């Protein structure tokens, strides 16, 4: 009886003092899978060690019961991850970070984000994000529909380039509508594996979460899942085993360029999440392998840069656009491929 009372008390304490950070329902066809692997596929920046520690502390519940890390998730299971602190939305704290501000006025700010900086806090990134820096720069920022201060759109952690942030509620509504209505313009520079056949083209295919790896997006060409996504591309320079391209977004889905280019067989160079961090095109020569590894070291991220951004100013009602030069890591890597291509017969 004493044991039952303690167990019930522990659960009451868990409900009272822990906060839900994540909640997932396993698909009906889910094959039995350890809960630590299940969560690693769904929570960005999660590691097995972190998840196992959470399980040991009783922070992982399946169907409202604490489970160990070796519990096997089955179809229909409700999986919740709880911690003793509130979700990051409640922990947005200003931080004095260096921001590369391209433009600023009373309505908005345009920032050239460096690669490696997360746009907004999330699991494993509760500080040092662009939002933390912006909150230090401004006293008040309007909240978007996801309660994220100032954000109109975002780019991935390891993608560099331009991001516009609203400073007023009016600008938030106006800019969000422009992005939603596809009247804004966004162009990216990307280095992709392989010799892209056509000088220009369009990739159309619904994009949604990968059914097995929830940290990846995948293309559903039949449109039976995901949301419509359209990417236009054109060749800037052919560099033998890789190609430098410009991508224009007609829609703005998560990982859109990364997923679309993988779909057509041209994964972004050194895109680890989508398999671009291995040699996908080229020879088997040792010197070539070393050359590619050197390029990976110079550019330790996916080769993607949000170079241009254009939209109508929400207050002035005039078109404005901005351009961010290629960062040094991409410039150096592209030059290495250019030099390699000049001395190689393809």
Query: Residue 176 corresponds to which tokens in the numbers above?
Result: 């969000």
Distance CA 70, CA 133 (A): 39
**pLDDT for position 124:** 60
Whether 346 and 205 share a structural domain: yes
Does 14 lie in the same domain as 105? no
| Structural domains of the chain, count | 3
Q: 341, 333, 234: which is closest to 282 by C-alpha?
A: 341
Give me the CATH number covering residue 289: 3.30.2350.10
Nearest residue to 204 (alpha-carbon basis) of 255, 256, 246, 159: 256
Tokens representing residue 315 in the block: 């207050």
Same domain, residue pair 188 and 311: yes
Longest Cα separation, the chain: 80
The SS3 of residue 337 is helix
Domain C-terminal end among 85, 105, 120: 85
Q: Which of the listed residues 153, 181, 209 is the one where a domain comes to its end?
A: 181
Query: Do 222 and 291 share a domain, yes or no?
Result: yes
pLDDT the model gives residue 89: 54
Tell me what pLDDT residue 339 has.
96
Set 156, 158, 271, 277: catalytic member? 156
**Closest listed residue to residue 88, CA positions, set 47, 40, 51, 45:** 45
Q: How far apart are CA 71 and CA 66, in angstroms?
A: 10
Say if residue 46 is in the same domain as residue 97. Answer: no
Give yes or no: residues 42 and 156 share one domain: no
CATH at 44: 3.10.290.10
- Residue-wise pLDDT for 76-134, tens only, equals 999 988 765 555 555 578 888 889 999 999 999 999 999 999 887 765 666 788 988 98
Q: For position 256, what pLDDT does the model report?
A: 97
**What is residue 8's predicted lDDT score, i.e. its pLDDT?**
33
- Same domain assignment for residues 205 and 313: yes
Residues 125 and 190 in one domain: no
Domain boundary pick from 34, 63, 85: 85
198 is catalytic: no
Q: Do 252 and 273 share a structural domain?
A: yes
Both 106 and 209 in a single domain? no
pLDDT of residue 307: 98
pLDDT at 84: 57
Residues of the domain holding 118: 88-181
In whole angstroms, how far apart are CA 312 and each of 119, 181, 235, 253?
23, 12, 28, 21
* pLDDT digit string (tens) for the chain, length 346 residues: 333 333 333 443 334 345 667 889 998 889 999 999 999 888 877 788 888 888 888 889 999 888 999 999 999 999 988 765 555 555 578 888 889 999 999 999 999 999 999 887 765 666 788 988 988 888 788 888 777 788 899 999 999 999 999 999 999 999 999 999 999 999 999 999 999 999 999 999 999 988 877 678 999 999 999 999 999 999 999 999 999 999 999 999 999 999 999 999 999 999 999 999 999 999 999 999 999 999 999 999 999 999 999 999 999 999 999 999 999 999 999 999 999 999 876 6
Whether residue 290 sits in one domain with residue 175: no
Q: What is the pLDDT of residue 145?
A: 72
Specify whether 209 is located in the same domain as 327: yes
């Amino acid at each position: 009886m004493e044991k039952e009372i303690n167990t019930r008390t522990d659960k009451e304490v868990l409900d009272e003092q822990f906060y839900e950070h994540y909640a997932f329902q396993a698909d009906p066809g889910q094959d039995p899978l350890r809960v630590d692997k299940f969560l690693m596929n769904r929570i960005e920046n999660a590691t097995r060690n972190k998840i196992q520690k959470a399980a040991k502390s009783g922070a992982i519940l399946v169907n409202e019961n604490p489970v160990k890390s070796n519990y096997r998730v089955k179809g229909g299971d409700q999986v919740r991850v709880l911690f003793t602190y509130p979700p990051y939305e409640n922990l947005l704290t200003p931080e004095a970070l260096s921001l590369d501000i391209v433009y600023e006025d009373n309505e908005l700010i345009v920032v050239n984000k460096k690669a490696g900086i997360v746009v907004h806090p999330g699991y494993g990134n509760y500080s040092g994000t662009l939002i933390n820096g912006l909150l230090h720069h401004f006293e008040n920022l309007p909240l978007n529909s996801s309660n994220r201060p100032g954000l109109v759109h975002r780019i991935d952690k390891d993608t560099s380039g331009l991001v516009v942030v609203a400073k007023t509620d009016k600008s938030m509504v106006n800019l969000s509508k422009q992005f939603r209505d596809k009247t804004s313009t966004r162009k990216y520079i990307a280095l992709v594996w392989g010799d892209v056949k056509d000088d220009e083209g369009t990739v159309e295919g619904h994009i949604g979460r990968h059914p097995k790896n929830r940290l990846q997006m995948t293309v559903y060409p039949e449109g039976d899942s995901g949301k419509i996504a359209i990417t236009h591309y054109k060749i800037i320079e052919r560099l033998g085993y890789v190609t430098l391209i410009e991508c224009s977004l007609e829609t703005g889905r998560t990982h859109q360029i990364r997923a679309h280019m993988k779909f057509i067989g041209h994964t972004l160079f050194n895109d680890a999440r989508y398999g671009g961090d291995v040699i996908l095109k080229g020879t088997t020569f040792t010197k070539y392998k070393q050359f590619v590894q050197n390029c990976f070291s110079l550019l330790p991220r996916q080769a993607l840069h949000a170079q241009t951004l254009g939209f109508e100013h929400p207050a002035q009602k005039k078109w404005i656009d901005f351009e961010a030069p290629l960062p040094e890591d991409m410039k150096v890597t592209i030059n290495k491929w250019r030099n390699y291509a000049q001395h190689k017969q393809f």
